[in-house]
Structure 1
Amino acid sequence: MRMTGRELPPPPPPAHLREWLDETVVRADRARFLADLSRRGLGLGRLALLWAVAAAFALGWAFVGLAVTSFEAADPVESLFGAVFAATAVGVLVPAGIWFVRGARRERREHELLCGWVEAGREPVVDPALRAPVRSLVWLGASLALGACGLWTAFAAAAGVRPGATAYGEVVGFVGLGMILWITGLLGAAKAATHLRWAARAGRPAPAAARRRPVLSDVAG
């Protein structure tokens, strides 16, 4: 079965149908689908996508800062620009939020399929590759660095406030940018740590009862 780049693998066959299927074909499908799902979840493309969503949020928040600065000037012309900046911020942040929610739902479905195919049987050759330690460490290291940069940006902006000299819009912009970077780094680090913990649990030998009669219809969460 060939899949496009956006098409997800099918769920594992139910237990009552497996006895009618060729075990060799089922194992080949399992190995291929697990490799595809693992690559989707921790691929560099997914990391770049997460950062792209964060960049969209950062861009939208920059317009929020510009809007606050414009309204702060208490000038009719500046207020008009502030309204334009505020509308632009909404036009950027809302699609970014929708993009983020859709991506989170797709990742949840991918994880359900990954767990389901793992429970379809244990393969001593295939299963250790699911841990993907190199990709997990890349995600973890990059996310921690991004989160640290975000915290430094937020605290530096807050510490550098000078009453009467620093515009509120500037503070809002830089503190918000720092928080966006920090939250993005936190999400990436949590995903890498969660995958490593899940892979260690999934790599344990299945109980004897499960090996005799694997339950394929159950999808672990």
Structure 2
Amino acid sequence: MTKDIEKDIEKATRDLNSIEEQREALISRAKLLNKQREAVAFAAHTGDAKAKEKLRTINLEDIGLASNIASVGAALVVARANLAAAQRAEAQAADRAKAEQIAGLNAQLKEQLEDADAALVDAMASVLAAKELLSQLHNLGVASPSDQMFRVNAVTCIKTAIQELPSPYINDFEFARLAPLQKKHFKNLAAAWCDQITNQIAARLGENKERAA
């Protein structure tokens, strides 16, 4: 909410409160005059000159009060309309601020979902590419990891990643939950298998050296 709108609401509220106070004061005075009228009306209408004069004064003031009360009533209509308009402006400003916030969050939501889609595609493509590389390694004589070992561990890594989601999401996947010690990550598998294959390479090179000797 801008400072101008805040000032408009504060002023409209002050004006309304002020006019309502004036109206209450006029109504209170009118009630007092009515009591005074009741006190002298009978005497005034039965020949008491002083009471008659008092009644005349009361009636004259009452006429003025009635006019003032009507004027204040009209002013109250405007004051209430002004406050309502200021409050509508405040609500509209708040709605605009929320709309801007929603627009920003909406753009971020779209970006994150698109990133998630691309990341999943890339992840699956990497797994399949690794599987193809393992097949090439098998053709060159590398025995381990086997296809079954790769498949089992790859699925475990994928399940591990899935279990990072909130529980309601995980429950939509039909697989037995992995215990903490069962969880695996592709990075750790890559390091272990790379070392394993490196050892196989070293063994082959050693064997070839022995044959050459």
Higher RCO (C-alpha under 8 Å, 6+ residues apart): 1
Give the TM-score normalised by structure 1.
0.37
Give the TM-score normalised by structure 2.
0.38
